[in-house]
Structure 1
């Protein structure tokens, strides 16, 4: 018997003093993930951005959108996704950043999330919809450890706060034909008054 390409059980990818990284392949059922992907792709007002890198402004190689989860105009799908992610992680979130990877040319360079505006010890949870894309996770110090993880539609990738100090993560460009993907990155941002 052939095993499933995307097993349903949670996978612990890393868990030590540098933090924890887990992967939940079946956070959202595949048919629901496909419906959410199509609805978000077609209804979100996606933005092109430019970012300062290495002393020059460059195009961000993907489309983006952001929402506060208490926004009265929050799309119902995002509210439902936030509920599912909170149930899976046991954590609460107050913001979501969406990334639309239109094809294999869209990417995000290896990076860590900036912690200055995040609630200390709150996790970062990334829900994947659409095509499978590879996430690369690597330690910042030697000896270098590199993990490659194919993020399935409906899957949830969770990083503890501490991992941002010790790991980079990214979605590399690919030259093989690939479909579009949307990620929803849930965070607990500090509320300033």
Structure 2
């Protein structure tokens, strides 16, 4: 058991949500600095013979060896900034594991989204731990079992919360951040992970 708080009970999943992992003032300051100083990109993915820009802005930071491939794209890491290095140290202390990369996703409004997927790339290893820090606006995070269409569980990810997915979660479950017509504030999500070179 990673933490003393109550876990999220889903079969074949190891999930924990720390709702007040960082205080509101820190979350607000981190959000402002990262949005302003990150060299954001909007890469395209190639599907069915066409290129589509991903519906959010992204940046990948990490140790020099932590190249990361997902959605057919290879991301070479930007060097850690002092702020991201500080946040990483704190996340590592919480989860008790080394983490050598972080993917930043910037959801500018409700039309920015992340489709159904699992963080199951080979370079993440057999049972990857993914620690997801949320800053800014609240968005709904949905989970469904692989091979099924129905959403089986949803979480409201608020600013300052840390969601940790570990164990066999990525083998059995997919997750998404769906588009919404509801007015939502801009949101920044930092997903820390260990990439095996």
Give the structure-2-normalised TM-score. 0.85
Cα deviation for residue 138 of structure 1 reads 1.1
Matches within 5 A, 1:13-24: 13-14=8-9, 16=11, 18-24=12-18
Give the structure 2 partner of residue 110 of structure 1.
Answer: 116
Q: Report if aligned partners of 1:123, 1:159 keep a CA contact under 8 Å in 2.
A: yes
Cα deviation for residue 144 of structure 1 reads 5.4
Give the structure 2 partner of residue 87 of structure 1.
Answer: 93
Give the structure 1 partner of residue 59 of structure 2.
Answer: 65
Supply the RMSD in Å over aligned alpha carbons.
2.0
**SS of corresponding position for 2:153:** strand
Q: Report if aligned partners of 2:60, 2:78 keep a CA contact under 8 Å in 1.
A: no
**SS of corresponding position for 2:116:** strand
5+ residue gaps, structure 1, are 1-8
Give the structure 1 partner of residue 191 of structure 2.
Answer: 185
Task: Tell me which moved more, 171-180 or 159-168.
Answer: 159-168
Give the number of aligned pairs. 182
5+ residue gaps, structure 2, are 65-76
Task: Tell me which moved more, 114-123 or 58-67.
Answer: 114-123
1:10 aligns with 2:16: no
